[in-house]
Amino acid sequence: MGEELVSAIIPTYNRASLLVRALASVAGQDYRPIQAIVIDDGSTDNTAELMPEQQSLLARQGVEMIYHRQSNCGPAYARNVGISLARGPYVCFLDSDDMWTSSFVSTMVRLLKGNPSAGLAFGGYMAIDANDQFIKERKSGLPPKPPEGLLRRPFELIVQHMPMGTPCVMVRRSVLDELGGFDETYHMGEDWDLWYRIAGRHDFVYSLKGLSCCREHRRNTPKFNAAALADQVLLIHKHLPSINDPKARAVVLKRLARQTTLLQEQMLREGYFPPKALSLLDHPLGPQTLRFRLGATVRRQPAWVGKAYARIIRALGTARR
């Protein structure tokens, strides 16, 4: 039995059946006490009807469950509401379509207790399908040995390659209070933004063992529509000034060029050009490639021309990321 409360924040939106599986993985942890905080971000399915039974089931297994229902405001807002309801000194974030292995919480607590300088702990993660079957191990980008380790202020490391997903992370509550939680202006990338901010001030501690299961299915949050791509580009612009290492800066600038190009082509595909996204395309750090300049020229033509151009680009087999 553990001594310090762990608060597990689980935002959800129209994923009732998957949420039940996520909660079962919380109840299956070999650590107590745990507080499960479900933030229902405006679900229109039968999520609300299932929650009383889930609360009783988890209570019988020694897990307190809080259910909070709100209008749809997005994942960053939902997670921040969860943080406001959390009472534990350790906070973790489980997406409602994902699951933990039984030793996730105990491993993260052990790592944080053993490394006082670390503000965040993370574990390895595996991809699973809609039926909970293993697909593959997702690469952290870290050396295979040692299997556990400490990363000193790893901001310029993780901007080159993010080694973890949101369900792999546990954060000290004091660090969240210090940095203010998730930036609610993002609808995509709010998690990376917070990890970047933590990495600039605190060490990370990790285990390479696969402790989280991230589900791949057709209802995953879209990452390649124009809104999501715009958030990705905004995130890079926000943190680029803090990158001093030449290698890290080169990697991020290459990613910026790629994501800005994809953003322009997706906007052409959708025929939608909001002012905020247009300003990203015209930024001085925008790509100087022929592909991007051609897209910028097409952007000034009638909408049907842009859509036809975007279809051709996709047909030619250009990668989407």
pLDDT digits over 217-246, tens only? 665 555 678 889 999 999 999 999 999 999
Q: Is the pLDDT of residue 51 over 60?
A: yes
* pLDDT, tens digit (0-9, with 9 covering 90-100), for 164-185: 999 999 999 999 999 999 999 9
Compute φ and ψ for 302, nearest 5 degrees. -55, 155
Query: Taking a C-beta distance cutoff of 8 angstroms, is the pair 167, 212 a contact?
Result: yes
pLDDT reported for residue 222: 57
Cα separation of 8 and 104, whole Å?
11
Cα separation of 193 and 236, whole Å?
9
Domains in the chain: boundaries: 6-215, 226-315
CATH 3.90.550.10 fits 6-215, yes or no: yes
Shortest CA distance to 68 belongs to which of 59, 60, 77? Answer: 77
* pLDDT, tens digit (0-9, with 9 covering 90-100), for 69-82: 999 999 999 999 99
* pLDDT, tens digit (0-9, with 9 covering 90-100), for 287-321: 999 999 999 999 989 999 999 999 898 888 654 44
Mean per-residue pLDDT, 27-50: 97
Query: Taking a C-beta distance cutoff of 8 angstroms, is the pair 224, 320 a contact?
Result: yes
Mean per-residue pLDDT, 48-67: 97
pLDDT reported for residue 1: 45
* pLDDT, tens digit (0-9, with 9 covering 90-100), for 136-146: 989 899 999 99
User: What predicted TM-score, i.e. pTM, was given to this entire model?
Assistant: 0.93
Cα separation of 17 and 19, whole Å?
5
Mean per-residue pLDDT, 85-107: 97
Q: What token pair was written down for 26? A: 């919380």
